[in-house]
Structure formats: C-alpha cells, structure tokens
Structure 1
C-alpha cells in the first residue's frame, strides 16, 4: 500500500467517525445541566420555553439527554444547541416538528445546515413577496404565495375555511391552509365539505384553551407566553391524534 493510499484510508476513516457523531459537532457533550438550567439558558432567547416543552421535544426524539442512575435528565451544551436549532426553526419558519426532525437527521448524517429562509416568491407583477416574520399577509400576497386566484380565495372565505381580519389581512398560517385546500380540490374533494374540518379544529382549540386557562394565569406577559407555548404543544398532540385516528378509520374502510 502506498503512502497516498494509506492517507486516503485514514482520511475516509476519520470522515466516517465524524459522521457517527450527532450534530452539532465540536460542541461539548459533557452532560452536566439539569432541565431547569436548560430552560433558564434558552429563556433569554425564547421566553415561552418551559420544562414541559423541553420534555415534549424529547418525546419527539429531537433531543436525547443522558439519564442518571436515578432517572434524572442531564443535558450537554450540544443538547442545548440542538434545542436552540429546533426553537429557531419553529419561530422563524413555522416548520412543523417532523420537518425539523428531518433537517436534524440530515445534519447528523454530515450535511451542512440549510440557510434559514422565509417564504419568498416573485409575484406576477415582478415584485418579491417575503413573508419573513409577518403575522399576517394581504390577500394579494396570499394568492402569490399559494398560486390561488382572488376568486378562489374569496370562495374559500365565503365558505369559512379562511378568515381575514377587518383590514383584509390573513394570518400567515393561512398560506399552508390555502395550499392544502387547493391540493384537496385538485384531488376531487368538494371543499364545501371541509367546513367540518375547520369546525373540528375550532372545537379542539376550545378544549386546549379551556385546559390551558385552568392551568396557567395570563395576568403577566411571561404567563401569557408560557400559556401560548403550552397551547402549541397541545395543538401538536391533537394534530397527531387526528392523523392517527384518520389512519385507523381509513384502514377500517379498506377492510370492508
């Protein structure tokens, strides 16, 4: 074996070893932080973070703290960096946890992190539409971002599937809602029947709100943020439950 071959094998072995180390690499993995200390660290950037939120992200397999012999969680600086990545992606891109999980698995496999981008599109008039962190968008931007025309958007509004505010602005979340409505309509679904889906979502939201209100005060700004974080966590669980129940129902139909 030549010196060049030996060097190449050594480099390949080193790269393979690096790929086996979960992201982020080069960050201490000494597990010395309690869950309370992790929350205190992240709260400076994410005021709504809670112990239950961190535990929920663990349940979703987005972070894997070390367990002591007594069963207590211990986190490393690498775990904190991983949690920060998840929270930033949720805040800045509205990405669902399953998508963030895919991104983390790509990072674990050695791929470079993709730059954080907000939704951007060139509209028909040539202007660039950038959602950024805007909580709401006008109808024209919503159409450009989804491919819907104003007539279709007005039809969805009349059916109560999306609702603008008094100024005619739609919540940014409606971008995904309208996109899904268009896909379902393209598959032959009569969107008028989907009002039942919105009604079910609103009933779930009421249940979540009643639960959170009974558990958390909202008198102070920090209380309101914690309540909002808890609502988001429960919303994820409700969405997962609905998806699994739908799968069971479809399975039962297909067995007939």
Structure 2
C-alpha cells in the first residue's frame, strides 16, 4: 500500500495515512445536501437541525465540502460520523471534546467502541421511520399496562400531556419504570417528590443555558442544547451517586 504523507486531524493528532479515516469502506463522495443529511438522520435524531450541523462543523467534528457557490455537501461517510457523534451525545451524554478525541483515535486506527446503552427519554421511531405519536392509549399498548395506570401517572403529575393530550417521547420509559416500582408497592403518588426534584434540576439547567439561548443565533442555540444535555447528565449522575450510597447504607 502506498504510504501518503502524515497529516494532523482536526484534534491535532498525527494520522498514519495508511489508515483510512473512520468510517472505513464508506463512500467519501460529497453529493448530499444538508436537506439530504437531515432526512437521513431525522427519524433517529429528532433534534437534528441546520444549526446543529453548522455547530458540529465549527467544532471540527465534520468537514463538509463547499461547492463553488458556497453550499455545503456531505458524503455518506460524513453522515456516519454525524451518527456516531449524535449517538454518543444522546446515549452517553459525552462532551464534544471527548467525542472528538474518540473520533481522532478511530481515525488513527483504533477500533470503534461498541454501541452505548440507550438511555430513557430517546425519541421513539415507528418501524416505517415516522415519528410515533404517543397518547394514553398508545403508551398503554406499548408498555403493556392498563390505560388507567397511565391516567394515574398523569393525575399525579408524573406525565404532562401537551396539546391534543399527546405525551412526549419519554412517556413510555416513565410508564415502564413506574409500573416496575408499582410491583414493589410504590404508587404514582409516592413519586411526586421525585418528579418535583427533577423539575427543579431542569430549572437550574435552564438558568445556566438561558444567556446562550437568548442570543438567537444558530450557533448559540446549538451550544445551549449541548450544554443543557451535558449538565443535565451530570446532575442525574450526581443524584444517582447519592441514591446508591444511601441505599448501601441501609444494608
């Protein structure tokens, strides 16, 4: 194999050009427009947007080709890198700096990590790729519980219906977990304080990201979303650490 001159990637890591940048074996011909990328990733990542793509480009995570007219074009390999970045953000809540380091290592020849475990609250997608509409009835059917139990969760404030009495994409996860707790005698009313605590944490994150969100620029909006995800995960981990420690002390 012909050895090409060494170069540095976006993270400053020297790459051995005998290794094809990750992902390997996927076309790097840039023929896809932004709209094509959004169509490809939208069913799996509901929050993907033009501003998110531009922000990830600014951070050096993707490098679309610019046409003579200045339009961005992406390759199938670019889409796979985007899928990796978005999955790591969604499932592992990794900071972009860590994701960038992982990509650099994979570009240098290290094996890609296995799929991260899916956290609760992901966007549900129907088998045909369309967004699933969640209602009391569809959530009950998907989780195998009585619709009355879903109504009890709503009455307790654990689920908050939106316009048209629709529930959000995280509703099935809440119902499944609440149903498992109910098997141990923990009723929906017992979980009100837990929901109230989560709402206070959300308010804390909101205070943190509000200055960026008020800037109204696509880059600032994307930064706000990324910061909110990372800080939210840190708060969740801190709460889990305290809970686990408290439970250990009981035994």
Q: TM-score normalised by the shorter chain: which range applies?
A: 0.5 to 0.7
* Equivalent residue pairs, number: 171
Q: Quote the offset at 1:221 in angstroms.
A: 4.1
Q: Structure 1, residues 45-93: CA drift from partner, whole Å, max 9, x if none?
A: 6533758xx8xxxxxxxxxxxxxxxxxxxxxxxxx888533334368xx
1:48 to 2:52 alignment: yes
Distance 1:32 1:166, change over 3 A: closer
Larger Rg: 1
1:243 to 2:240 alignment: yes
1:33 to 2:10 alignment: yes
Find the aligned partners of 1:203 and 1:132 in 2 and give their Cα distance.
Answer: 33
TM-score when scaled to structure 1? 0.54
Q: Quote the offset at 1:161 in angstroms.
A: 0.6
Indicate if the aligned counterparts of 2:212 and 2:223 stay in contact, CA closer than 8 A.
no
Greater helix fraction, Structure 1 or Structure 2: 1
Q: Quote the offset at 1:251 in angstroms.
A: 1.9
Structure 1 residues 68-107: aligned runs within 5 Å: 84-89=82-87, 96-97=91-92, 105-106=113-114
Indicate if the aligned counterparts of 1:138 and 1:168 stay in contact, CA closer than 8 A.
yes
Q: Structure 1, residues 103-160: CA drift from partner, whole Å, max 9, x if none?
A: x6447xxxxxxxxx9555xxxxxxxx768445x5222221122112211111111011
Find the aligned partners of 2:224 and 2:125 in 1 and give their Cα distance.
Answer: 27
Note the residue ranges of structure 1 that are not aligned, 5 or more in a row.
Answer: 1-28, 36-43, 55-79, 108-116, 121-128
Find the aligned partners of 1:171 and 1:130 in 2 and give their Cα distance.
Answer: 19
Distance 1:130 1:140, change over 3 A: farther
Find the aligned partners of 1:177 and 1:131 in 2 and give their Cα distance.
Answer: 23
- Report the RMSD for the aligned CA atoms in angstroms: 3.9
Indicate if the aligned counterparts of 2:140 and 2:146 stay in contact, CA closer than 8 A.
yes
Find the aligned partners of 2:166 and 2:193 in 1 and give their Cα distance.
Answer: 23
Indicate if the aligned counterparts of 2:212 and 2:220 stay in contact, CA closer than 8 A.
no
Indicate if the aligned counterparts of 1:138 and 1:169 stay in contact, CA closer than 8 A.
yes
TM-score when scaled to structure 2? 0.55
Find the aligned partners of 2:124 and 2:163 in 1 and give their Cα distance.
Answer: 25
